[in-house]
Structure formats: C-alpha cells, structure tokens
Amino acid sequence: MKILIVADIEGVAGVNAGLQGTPGNAEYERARRLMTNEASAAIRGAIAGGATTVTVADSHGPMRNIIAEDLDPRARLIAGKPRPLTMVDGVTPDHAGVILIGHHAAADDYGVLSHTISGAAFHRIEVNGILAGEPTLFGGYAAEIGVPLLAVSGDDRLEQHVKQQFPEAATITVKTCIGAAASDSLSPDASCRLIEAEVSKAINASPAAKPVAPCQAPFIVDVQLMHQMQADAAVLLPSITRTGPRDIRFTVQSHKDIIGTLAALALMSSAVMA
C-alpha cells in the first residue's frame, strides 16, 4: 500500500508567525525541526496503519525544509522545486491515499498564516465559484487520478474548510486559530502523538475511501492577485483574461493545468515585483 504525505509548515503545532516559515533565521531552524517531527509522526502512523511504501513530499516555500537525516528512515523524501505538480508531485494512480500534514486555511479565509500557494501573489482563488485552498487543488488532483485524500492536519479553520470540500477525509486539529499570526496550540509532542494515532486510523479505513474532488471539469479559475502589476504581467499569457484591476480568469480541463498555471503565475508575480 503506497501513501504520499505532503508536508507543509504553517499548520504545524507551535508555528504561527511568517518568520518561522522563512529560511535564514533561528526561528525557522526550530520550525523546520517541528515540521520534520510531524512528518515522521505521520510516517509512523501510516506504517502502523498498513502502508508499505511511504513518501514524504516537502512542500513549503523552498521545498527543502525537512531535515532529511532526522526524518523516519522508512520513508522516501521528495524535495526541491520547481516540480511539475508542485506540492503533490509523486502521487500516482497506484497510491492508496494522500495525507496533508502541517497545512493551513485558504487565501482570503480566516486561519493561521492562511494563503493559497503564494501569499505574495494570490489574494483569493476560486474554482467554479468555490474558494480554493491547497487541499482543493492538490486533493482535487489526487481525486482526479483516483486517489483519495485521507487525512489533513492543521488548525481549526483548515478543518472547517476540508470538512466542506472533502467530507470523508479525517481532520487532525493541532491548534486553534486566534488570528492570522496567533494560535492556541497543542505541544509539539502531543501534536505528534495525535497525528500518529489519527493517520494510522485513516490508513486502516482507506480501502473504503472514495476519491471525490470538490470541483469538476471544466474549471473556471478566478484569481485575485495582490497587485495590479501582477495582473499586467499575467495577461501576457494568451490563456489569461483580465476581469478587474487585480483580477484574472482562465479556463482549463484538469487539476494538473490549474496547478501548473497557478505555479507559473506565482513565479511571474514574484518576478514582476522584484
């Protein structure tokens, strides 16, 4: 049984400030250790639940945050960027499920460090009129190729979002959102114990899980960028239409193309503001 664990940092217990996700300071060095520990807890849970092949995809920012030598050695590690499917690269139709650890609420929603793909690029993303967070896009991709989203860990706002869009997925709530950069969190140790236990249960139940994406093709993607100049750059691509000063729209037929277009727009958006 193959499982992909997609590890992010903003939803890790004890993380609530942007600095903790930004390389080059002591706070980040601590936070990446907490992220590595939560990923290892998910590996232990996955193997206890029956997984035989476990891969962790390091999926925050530079995508090389996990301290490889400290990760449970029974898993493989995907790291570095750009990757064709960004956060969910590595999932194939023969996987039994995807698990998101350390995740966060969507851009323009309440939540600790909430954003979607890039806080510097995207103010809000909707797919077919539904607020899109990273679970919407990456869990949606997995579902599209027949792989269910089994479990998600993060704050209580993420939990609400996932319950609406993936009602069958288990939600593991390790902290309560007080504000954009404030939380009431379990201790890192208690969070790891909870993740291990809940992931194990979710893997055990996975044969009955159904892959259902919250959005179906065709996908009309409405994006509000952070700055007008980012929309000026985006419309250089012939597939993008302008719908407002900071607003653009594109239509694609697959989650893969939503993800690829958004990843390219994030790169363009940071380049044009540099």
Q: Which positions touch Zn ion (CB under 5 A)?
A: 8, 10, 60
Report the nearest approach of Zn ion to the CB of residue 68 (Å). Answer: 18
* Contact present, 107 and 269 (Cβ < 8 Å): no
Query: For residues 44 and 104, which CB has a smaller minimum distance to Zn ion in the complex?
Result: 104
- Please give the residue whose beta carbon sits closest to Zn ion in the complex: 60
Q: Minimum CB separation from Zn ion for residue 262, in Å?
A: 14
Minimum CB distance to Zn ion smaller for 60 or for 161: 60
Give the start-end residues of each E strand in the chain: 2-7, 53-58, 75-78, 95-101, 122-127, 130-131, 149-155, 170-179, 182-185, 219-225, 241-242, 247-252
Beta carbon nearer to Zn ion, 8 or 198: 8
Q: What is the nearest approach in angstroms of Zn ion to the Cβ of residue 109?
A: 15
Measure the N-to-C terminal CA separation of the chain; round to a whole number of Å: 44
134 DSSP 8-state letter: H
Shortest Å, Cβ 172 to Zn ion: 17
For the chain, what is the radius of gyration of the CA atoms? 17
| Chain centroid offset of residue 260 CA | 15
Torsion of CA 263, 240, 231, 21, to 10 degrees: -10
The helix (H) or strand (E) run that includes residue 255 is helix 255-273
Give the nearest distance from C-beta 65 to Zn ion in angstroms: 9
Between residues 35 and 46, which has the closer beta carbon with respect to Zn ion?
35
Q: Which of residues 51 and 159 has its CB atom nearest to Zn ion in the complex?
A: 159
* Residue 271 CB contacts under 8 Å (≥ 6 apart), including other chains: 233
Which residue lies nearer to Zn ion by CB, 105 or 225? 105
Q: How far apart are CB 194 and Zn ion at their closest, in Å? A: 20
